[in-house]
Amino acid sequence: MADSAPRDAANWAAKIDRLQVSDPSDTHGYNVQGKRVAGPMNGFGRLWQRTYTAALGTAVTPEAVIADWRAHFGEYWPRMGRFHSSLSTLQPGDVTALTAGGVTTGVMVLYADDTSFTFLTPEGHMFAAMITFSAESDAAAHTIARISMLLRCSDPLFESMWPLARRGEDLFWPEVLRNLGRAHGVTDVTVAERTVCVDRRRLWANWRNVRHNAGIRTVAHVVRAPFRRTRPEGAP
Sign for the pseudo-dihedral over CA of 120, 181, 197, 101: positive
Q: Identify the domain containing residue 25 by its residue range.
A: 12-225
Q: What is the mean pLDDT of residues 102-117?
A: 96
Query: Could you tell me how far CA 139 lies from the centroid of its own chain?
Result: 29
Which CATH number goes with the domain that contains 162? Answer: 3.30.530.20
Neighbours of 118 (CB within 10 A): 21
pLDDT reading at 232 higher than 70: no
In a domain, 80, yes or no: yes
Helix (H) or strand (E) holding 198: strand 191-199
- Specify the higher pLDDT residue, 225 or 57: 57
Q: What is the mean pLDDT of residues 11-36?
A: 91
pLDDT reading at 108 higher than 50: yes
Instruction: Please state the pTM of the whole predicted model.
Output: 0.91
In a domain, 5, yes or no: no
Q: What is the mean pLDDT of residues 153-171?
A: 97
Q: Is-contact 190 79, C-beta < 8 A?
A: no
| 186 phi and psi angles, rounded to 5 deg | -105, 105
pLDDT reading at 165 higher than 50: yes
Confidence of residue 2 (pLDDT cuts 50, 70, 90): low
In a domain, 232, yes or no: no
Q: What is the pLDDT of residue 226?
A: 81
Q: What is the pLDDT of residue 37?
A: 96
In a domain, 177, yes or no: yes
pLDDT reading at 231 higher than 70: no
Q: Express each pLDDT in 141-160 by its tens digit.
A: 999 999 999 999 999 999 99
In a domain, 7, yes or no: no
In a domain, 3, yes or no: no
Please work out, in degrees rounded to the nearest 5, the angle formed at the alpha carbon of residue 131 by the alpha carbons of 166 and 28. Answer: 85
pLDDT reading at 208 higher than 90: yes
The number of distinct structural domains making up the chain is 1
pLDDT reading at 227 higher than 80: no
Confidence of residue 235 (pLDDT cuts 50, 70, 90): very low
| 99 phi and psi angles, rounded to 5 deg | -130, 125
In a domain, 162, yes or no: yes
Q: What is the pLDDT of residue 234?
A: 46
In a domain, 2, yes or no: no
